[in-house]
């Protein structure tokens, strides 16, 4: 029991770090352009994961069942998967960062968390039909999203629309990870995807923004949090902990990211939500939990973002 609780706590810490990252991203928008911020944080995240590769390799050395296959085919899958994941991650994080220019961190956290509901819907395109429970979760999430975003005028603002696109892209990102992660080393895959995402975001940063070293240095705190803690530390915690925790419980714990984003925005940035928006958050969180409840039929192991 103590062994299980330790790894469950590691996943909760991961969700806590990811929830706080929305504050770092919001603050980062005040000192850097959104593309510049994402490029720098992604490159730092990839650099932080480099020393984790041999470390986790030694941890896996005694468990051959968890070690991916080696060889030329595995190498091709690693690079193809890392680049595909990096492209999607770069696009998704860019839409998220742009959305944070208009939306509070709490709202951004909950709308982004819609990927947990969108993923099973996208499964329809690969003939994986979700059950009635998932459809019910979708209906609840749509109702919660309406309450969260509706402002008496347009149902969706500019920031809300950008965050919905971000959530869709993160859903595709999860499906790509689901395909490649059984074939390759997870930390190596993530390392490649972070470097790829950094390059993807650097292109519009150089074209549409004016990144300077002084601006990067002025935003060192949110950049380091988003790069070192959110990308590097949190991902490593997730990789280690999910080997020892039931995947359904792991997904539920990680979905607390949306709750922590609201709390972080309230405590650090004093961003409050009105009762209608809090009701929307509650409905969306209920939908997230409902979508992750175990079904009667055995299912494959889900992959967290």
Residue 58 maps to a domain: yes
Q: What is the pLDDT of residue 59?
A: 59
- pLDDT computed for residue 299 by the predictor: 46
* pLDDT score at 127: 66
Domain that holds residue 260: 2-292
Alpha-carbon distance of 111 to 107, in angstroms, equals 6
Domain count for the chain: 1
Confirm whether 242 is domain-assigned.
yes
> Is 302 contained in some domain?
no
Q: How confident is the model at residue 118, as a pLDDT?
A: 82
CA distance 41 to 43: 6
Whether residue 304 lies inside any domain: the answer is no
Domain membership of residue 303 (yes or no) is no
Q: Is residue 113 part of a domain?
A: yes
Q: Note the pLDDT of residue 303.
A: 44
- Is 130 part of any domain? yes
Torsion of CA 91, 243, 238, 284, to 10 degrees: 70
pLDDT tens, residue order, the chain (305 aa): 555 678 888 888 988 998 888 889 888 988 899 999 999 999 999 998 888 788 766 655 555 444 455 566 678 889 999 999 999 999 999 999 999 898 888 778 878 877 777 877 787 776 666 678 777 877 887 788 777 666 555 556 778 889 999 989 988 888 888 788 778 887 888 899 999 999 999 999 999 998 889 989 988 999 999 999 988 888 778 767 766 776 656 666 777 787 888 888 888 888 777 888 788 888 877 877 776 676 655 444 444 44
């Amino acid at each position: 029991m103590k062994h299980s609780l330790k790894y469950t706590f590691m996943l909760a810490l991961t969700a806590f770090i990811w929830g706080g990252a929305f504050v770092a991203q919001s603050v980062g928008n005040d000192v850097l352009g959104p593309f510049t911020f994402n490029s720098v944080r992604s490159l730092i995240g990839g650099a932080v994961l480099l020393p984790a590769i041999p470390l986790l390799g030694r941890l896996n050395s005694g468990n051959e069942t968890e070690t991916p296959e080696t060889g030329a085919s595995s190498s091709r899958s690693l690079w193809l998967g890392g680049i595909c994941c990096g492209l999607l991650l770069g696009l998704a994080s860019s839409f998220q960062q742009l959305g944070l220019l208009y939306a509070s961190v709490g709202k951004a956290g909950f709308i982004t968390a819609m990927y947990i509901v969108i993923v099973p819907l996208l499964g329809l395109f690969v003939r994986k039909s979700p059950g009635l429970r998932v459809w019910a979760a979708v209906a609840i999430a749509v109702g919660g999203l309406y309450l969260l975003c509706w402002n008496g005028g347009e149902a969706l603002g500019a920031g809300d629309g950008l965050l919905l696109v971000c959530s869709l892209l993160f859903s595709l990102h999860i499906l790509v990870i689901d395909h490649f992660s059984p074939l390759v080393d997870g930390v190596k895959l993530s390392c490649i995807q972070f470097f790829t995402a950094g390059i993807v975001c650097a292109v519009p940063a150089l074209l549409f923004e004016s990144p300077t070293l002084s601006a990067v240095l002025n935003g060192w705190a949110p950049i380091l949090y988003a790069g070192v803690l959110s990308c590097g530390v949190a991902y490593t915690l997730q990789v280690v902990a999910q080997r020892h925790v039931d995947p359904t419980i792991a997904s539920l714990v990680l979905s607390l990211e949306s709750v922590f984003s609201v709390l972080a925005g309230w405590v650090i940035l004093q961003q409050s939500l009105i009762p209608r928006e809090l009701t929307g958050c509650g409905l969306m969180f209920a939908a997230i939990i409902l979508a992750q409840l175990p079904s009667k039929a055995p299912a494959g192991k889900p992959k967290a973002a």
